[in-house]
Structure 1
Amino acid sequence: MERIVFLDRDSIQADVRRPGFAHEWRDYPATSVSQVSERLNNASIAISNKVPLMAASLALLKDLKMIAVCATGTNNVDLDYCRAHGIVVSNIRNYAMHTVPEHVFAMVLALRRNLVGYREDVAGGLWQKAEQFCLFTRPILDLHGGTLGVIGNGALGQATAKLGAAFGMRVLISEHKGAALTRPGYTSFETVLAESDVITLHCPLTPATQNLIGAPEFRKMRRHALLINTARGGLVDEAALVEALQQGVIGGAGFDVLTTEPPRAGNPLLDLRLPNFILTPHVAWASRNAMQIMADQLIDNIEAFVRGAPRNRVV
């Protein structure tokens, strides 16, 4: 009899079917680090979206055989410990192929067409006072004919690139920052910075990509360029972004992620009140369609593990 515990059930809004084998199931809306070992006591399968499962807690869980991560990222799991102790870790893959690229272009379109600024102008009565039928207070730029720079060529980067091409954009796939050679089909990181009208980030957060974009990179970008980040907050130096936007070094930015989430201790981007900046609360992945795909794949992973054929295995 497998004992399954979902530590943060409220992190997804979807119908989660029960596995098709004999089991005990328990879920909690949310779980703190201090509650992990108690709640997973005697559990054989743990489900976590963002609850940290580190060595100190895992060492107390002698019955644990599998961690089913209800997300793609596994930085909240001590993979080295799991590898050393035979705990299988599986994740969710390619569930956000539509929702994240759509969110990227929702931000891009809003910023390129100055929708936030025009909404403020209408609310402020400027259109009502105009001498002609329309109001020309802010520039509007088409996507067609522009250049999209994609940093990160995984499934989400590729899907975003396809949408860019559908809008008639020239698409540049970035080579790794500092790479000595540029692979076929890729463009050097420096060239992507210099030539893109829109740059969108789709790479993981690692020591190599920490603060991938900072003050030096902003200075190399076009003054009208947009930076979109739906990946991880730590990819961008947030203080440098604030300065770049306030000083007009770049044209605008759309962010769905912050370095620390939720930002209980504040963040400089939370206080940024500019029409060329959009901040959303880490929801690019969270369409109802995508969350249902995630929930279905989560149970598929667990059932595959119990059958003895783990899928989407990270460890």
Structure 2
Amino acid sequence: MEKIVFLDSATIPAHIHIPTPSFDHQWISYQETAPHQVIERLTDATMVIVNKVVLDANTLSQLPHLKLIAVSATGYNNIDLTWCHEHKLPVCNIRGYATRSVPEHVMALCFALRRNLTAYHRDIEDGVWQQKNQFCFFTHPIGDIAGSTIGIVGSGNLGQGVEALANAVGMTVLKAERKGATAIRDGYVSFNTLLEHADIVTLHCPLDTSTSNLIGREELERMKPSAILINTGRGGLVDELALVEALKKGDIAGAGVDVFTQEPASFSNPLLAHAGMPNLILTPHVAWGSDSSLQTLANILIENLDAFIAGAPQNLV
């Protein structure tokens, strides 16, 4: 019998149905797990399901019964993958489950920021309409989505999903070559060219040593003063302090941020400290989380376990 332990099941909402694995098993689920609880809870586990709990080399070396790490997300930077490969411990993740949810979230932020919806909502709350004494008022510029240019950084499933929606609403799409690349692929533009010409820049690349602080002070200064930055990728892709300074200085017009360098973000985070800015929209890492995407994630998670037991492991990283 396999013992399956889910260390942070609160990352999947309670209303989402998690299918039952097809093999003989014991299932133990914890809403959340603190670092000091990991080893105790996994002492005799043969399979672990984890979203954000860290499984480093020191921890994994003390868990000899583990046969599989099943990440209930796409990102796996919380797992010491080098150790797992060296010790032949398989790790699988979830892929392709948020190809509708994330692009729709990106487009929602595009519309909200281009049309300054948050700023107008706050003006109404503050009584500006009554002060103007007109049937309407224009305290903020309103930009159209159709005819604008969106720059997509990252050409995986999510970047492609954004491209499809952008084309559908009449946007011009630019796709960025890797930062610093000397050769430009057909259909792509250089990273700097994208920054200089895009009305909206949206990030969909993985976070690694080459993409950490991909967007910093220099990159923000390259962007149009009317441009918008959207990050639904990883928090570390953007220098958060530089982004706040760029918004305050008017280097760019707005930003939509769904991911943060540390999550949950503390109030010391520059973005949270300036959450009242009308041109900054923050969401708590939920771009991926439509009900349909969550159900697909749960289904794939259990399919990964079943496939491993059947001797045909899938979605290995």
Deviations 1:281-302 (A, max 9, x none): 1111111111111001000000
SS at match of 1:158: helix
8 Å contact from structure 1 (residues 110, 116) kept in 2: yes
CA distance in 2: counterparts of 1:74 and 1:211, whole angstroms: 19
1:45 aligns with 2:51: no
Q: Specify which of 144, 151, 154 is matched with residue 153 of structure 2.
A: 151
Q: Specify which of 235, 250, 253 is matched with residue 251 of structure 1.
A: 253
CA distance in 2: counterparts of 1:171 and 1:265, whole angstroms: 35
Deviations 1:140-196 (A, max 9, x none): 000111100000000001101111111100000100000011011111101100000
Other-structure match for 1:294: 297
Q: Specify which of 302, 307, 311 is matched with residue 308 of structure 1.
A: 311
SS at match of 2:273: coil
Structure-to-structure mapping, 1:108-127, within 5 angstroms: 108-127=110-129
Q: CA deviation at 1:80?
A: 1.1
Other-structure match for 2:208: 206
Structure-to-structure mapping, 1:173-252, within 5 angstroms: 173-252=175-254
Q: Specify which of 260, 263, 266 is matched with residue 265 of structure 2.
A: 263
CA-based RMSD of the aligned residues comes to 1.0
Q: Specify which of 55, 78, 81 is matched with residue 80 of structure 2.
A: 78
The alignment covers a number of residue pairs equal to 314
Q: Which amino acid aligns with 1:2?
A: E
Relative to the length of structure 1, the TM-score reads 0.98
Residue segments in structure 1 that go unaligned for 5+ positions in a row: none
Runs of 4+ in 1 over 4 A off after TM superposition: none
SS at match of 1:148: strand
Q: CA deviation at 1:265?
A: 6.2
CA distance in 2: counterparts of 1:132 and 1:25, whole angstroms: 63
| Percent identity for Structure 1 against Structure 2 | 53
CA distance in 2: counterparts of 1:174 and 1:267, whole angstroms: 28
Q: CA deviation at 1:85?
A: 1.3
Q: Which amino acid aligns with 2:72?
A: C
Q: CA deviation at 1:128?
A: 2.6
8 Å contact from structure 2 (residues 103, 162) kept in 1: yes
Relative to the length of structure 2, the TM-score reads 0.97
8 Å contact from structure 1 (residues 65, 86) kept in 2: no
Q: CA deviation at 1:134?
A: 1.2
Residue segments in structure 2 that go unaligned for 5+ positions in a row: none
SS at match of 2:213: coil
